[in-house]
Chains A and B, each alone.
Chain A
Amino acid sequence: MSKYFQPEIECADPAEIKKIQSEKLVKQVRHVWEHVPYYRAKMEAKGVTPDDIHGIEDLHKLPFLSKADLKEAYPYGLMGCPRKDVVRIHSTSGTTGKRVIAFYTKEDLDMWSDCTARAIVAAGGDENDVVQVCYGYGLFTGGSGLNDGSHKVGCMTLPMSSGNTERQLQFMVDLGATILCCTPSYAAYLGESIKEAGLRDKIQLKAGIFGAEAWSEEMRRDIQESLGIKAYDIYGLTELTGPGVSFECEEQSGMHINEDHFVAEIIDPETEEVLPEGSIGELVFTSLDKIGFPMIRYRTRDICVLRREKCSCGRTFIKMGKPMGRSDDMLIIKGVNVFPSQIEAVLLEEGFPANYQIIVDRVNNSDTLEVQVEMTPELFSDNLGKISEIEKQLIGSLKTMLGIYAKVRLVAPKSITRSEGKAVRVIDKRKI
């Protein structure tokens, strides 16, 4: 078995890739013009028609799509085909406004699983492998993304979904799992649990494919050591497909973007100007052949660098570095997208003041979220039980809004620092 899933594409001459991209882009823009009135209106507003797009060099002429567009067009406004052709949806967490619902046709799912299959093969996988997928299955893209790629490679796939560590370990040991797919923090947690249970000699893992949240090189070393594996990063977002937009090879120095399906650009988030290769800026993606939910020049808000260099693995796809931050205020906590504005909305609804602070930390390789909010005379009572009722209700509302647990800490009035101008709402203590 070769170490590429589709060598003819993955190792193609960059000029050949560019040709494929150009042909697909011309077709995709025409398709979107005809099927997505929302984007057509944006093109018209910019004075661009499909006739202006002759190849990848014309990409910069097209208007951007942003999270705000997704919100405005929610739920069906950006669907790129008749509904009868859609076979699956996936969704991000968050409220209606912030929630992204993406549509997939059969062909889209086929393309996506090619992408994740490439990632699995790059991590050394073939049909002899046992792939344990403990990303969540369901609306989240992680579970089914890796699951379908694993099927495509022909691996025996364990559709574990997230949680229930005891059962994860039992299957891992009993069935001899060789490749683990989950979030890096869960991988670290599994590593600890294996050590505690004294199972280190009983596992057969050789590789792990970890994504959906940021992780450091230090964390990579820890995971590799505790599980005795090589750990590979994988990147993606629901707007585009899910994991597999880009993936790491054995060189572990950046993720190869599946350029036959996605074109990446780096822009200055302020001026929106395209920056030359090697610059730090905001990552923008165009999906070249996704029909259910086509994204043209979608602003990811992830800040990173693109580099096209000869890779020892033989792949010619451009590489993106780990995202270094965000050009908006979105936080990724336990793999879940969290906006401070969501927390603020819940606080106001529950009668709390808008003076709050969000403390994000990583304890034992797992993210923690604490919301500090000032007590008010209206919420205060001489009865401690009544205060803890209010506290419990707030925790419940935050959980409903964010999808994850947030610890609430009631603090004294005026104890949260008021800064001049822009308030410091988020303190991220994670060292990533």
Chain B
Amino acid sequence: MEIYQISVFLENQAGKLSEVTNLLAENGIDLRAINIAESSDYGVLRVITSDAEKAVEILREHNFIVNCTAVLGVSVPDRPGGLAHLLRILAAEKFDVEYMYSVFGQPNGLAYMILRVENIEEVRSVLEKDGIHTADCAELGIK
């Protein structure tokens, strides 16, 4: 199953991010990965949660603007050159990565990256061909 990332519009205001994390905590939703991009007045919070559907529902109920986007989870050998190897392959194939960020530590000891790319399936098959493992939901603790 696809991994879904939730993005949330946040005004740059004290307590806004905390409001989101509190809502998720109160509803027993676990954060698997988090990333924020910001301008001077606002930011875009991107999270991978244990339950995307429920998280979207709760945040929308509280008037947050929320988007859901399919992203690619990739496991990277946790050693020097691990990420470099992955990016070399993507560059060779001329895939554009809009942005990427890492997933919190996993019990299985693997490091994971979340990639935002246009053609998820295409990228996945190229990486798999090169022996790079792409993650499924269960691996990342996602419902």
Question: Could you list which residues of chain A lie within 8 angstroms of chain B, going by C-beta atoms?
Answer: 375-377, 380-384, 387-388, 409-415
Chain B residues positioned under 8 Å from A383 (CB to CB) = 44, 98-99
A-B contact pairs, 20 of them (CB 8 A): A375-B9, A377-B67, A380-B9, A381-B67, A382-B5, A382-B44, A382-B116, A383-B99, A384-B37, A384-B38, A384-B43, A384-B44, A388-B39, A410-B11, A410-B41, A412-B11, A412-B63, A413-B63, A413-B64, A413-B65
Beyond the given pairs A375-B65, A377-B65, A383-B44, 14 more chain A to chain B contacts, judged by CB atoms under 8 angstroms and listed by A's residue number, are A375-B9, A375-B42, A377-B66, A381-B7, A381-B44, A384-B43, A387-B39, A387-B44, A410-B9, A410-B41, A410-B42, A412-B16, A412-B64, A415-B11
CB-CB contacts below 8 Å: B15-60 with A: 16, 37-39, 41-44, 46
Separation of A7 and B66 alpha carbons in the complex (Å): 72
B119 CB-CB contact with A under 8 Å: no
Mostly, the B contact residues are strand
Chain A residues positioned under 8 Å from B116 (CB to CB) = 382
Chain A residues positioned under 8 Å from B10 (CB to CB) = 412
- Which residue in A375, A382, A387, A410 is a CB contact (below 8 Å) of B46? A382
Instruction: Using CB atoms, name the residue of chain A closest to B5.
Output: A382
**Would you call A414 and B63 a contact (CB within 8 A)?**
yes
B69 CB-CB contact with A under 8 Å: yes
- Which residue in B37, B39, B65, B98 is a CB contact (below 8 Å) of A412? B65
Separation of A411 and B42 alpha carbons in the complex (Å): 8
Chain B residues positioned under 8 Å from A381 (CB to CB) = 7, 44, 67
Separation of A383 and B46 alpha carbons in the complex (Å): 10
**Would you call B39 and A384 a contact (CB within 8 A)?**
yes
- Nearest chain A CB to B131 CB, angstrom units: 29
Chain B residues positioned under 8 Å from A376 (CB to CB) = 65
Chain A residues positioned under 8 Å from B99 (CB to CB) = 383
Separation of A409 and B11 alpha carbons in the complex (Å): 10
Chain B residues positioned under 8 Å from A382 (CB to CB) = 5, 7, 44, 46, 67, 69, 116
Separation of A376 and B9 alpha carbons in the complex (Å): 9
Instruction: Using CB atoms, name the residue of chain A closest to B42.
Output: A410
- Nearest chain B CB to A383 CB, angstrom units: 6
Chain A residues positioned under 8 Å from B41 (CB to CB) = 409-410
Chain B residues positioned under 8 Å from A411 (CB to CB) = 11, 42
Instruction: Using CB atoms, name the residue of chain B closest to A411.
Output: B11
B5, B16, B63, B65, most chain A CB atoms within 10 A: B65
Chain A residues positioned under 8 Å from B38 (CB to CB) = 384
Chain B residues positioned under 8 Å from A387 (CB to CB) = 39, 42, 44
Instruction: Using CB atoms, name the residue of chain B closest to A384.
Output: B37
A381, A383, A388, A415, most chain B CB atoms within 10 A: A383
Instruction: Using CB atoms, name the residue of chain B closest to A380.
Output: B65
The 5 A-B pairs of least Cβ separation, nearest first, read: A382-B7, A384-B37, A380-B65, A412-B11, A375-B9
Chain B residues positioned under 8 Å from A410 (CB to CB) = 9, 11, 41-42
Instruction: Using CB atoms, name the residue of chain B closest to A377.
Output: B65
- Nearest chain B CB to A382 CB, angstrom units: 4
Chain B residues positioned under 8 Å from A380 (CB to CB) = 7, 9, 65, 67
Instruction: Using CB atoms, name the residue of chain A closest to B67.
Output: A382
- Nearest chain B CB to A352 CB, angstrom units: 13
Chain A residues positioned under 8 Å from B7 (CB to CB) = 380-382
Chain A residues positioned under 8 Å from B65 (CB to CB) = 375-377, 380, 412-413
Separation of A319 and B9 alpha carbons in the complex (Å): 54
Chain A residues positioned under 8 Å from B69 (CB to CB) = 382
- Nearest chain A CB to B100 CB, angstrom units: 13
- Nearest chain B CB to A351 CB, angstrom units: 14
- Nearest chain A CB to B45 CB, angstrom units: 9
Separation of A384 and B40 alpha carbons in the complex (Å): 12
Instruction: Using CB atoms, name the residue of chain A closest to B63.
Output: A414
Separation of A384 and B98 alpha carbons in the complex (Å): 10
Separation of A387 and B45 alpha carbons in the complex (Å): 13
Instruction: Using CB atoms, name the residue of chain B closest to A381.
Output: B67
Instruction: Using CB atoms, name the residue of chain A closest to B40.
Output: A409
- Nearest chain B CB to A257 CB, angstrom units: 46
Chain A residues positioned under 8 Å from B9 (CB to CB) = 375, 380, 410, 412
- Nearest chain A CB to B26 CB, angstrom units: 20
Chain B residues positioned under 8 Å from A413 (CB to CB) = 63-65
Instruction: Using CB atoms, name the residue of chain B closest to A407.
Output: B41
Chain B residues positioned under 8 Å from A384 (CB to CB) = 37-39, 43-44
- Nearest chain B CB to A373 CB, angstrom units: 11
- Nearest chain A CB to B111 CB, angstrom units: 23
- Nearest chain B CB to A272 CB, angstrom units: 45
Instruction: Using CB atoms, name the residue of chain B closest to A409.
Output: B41
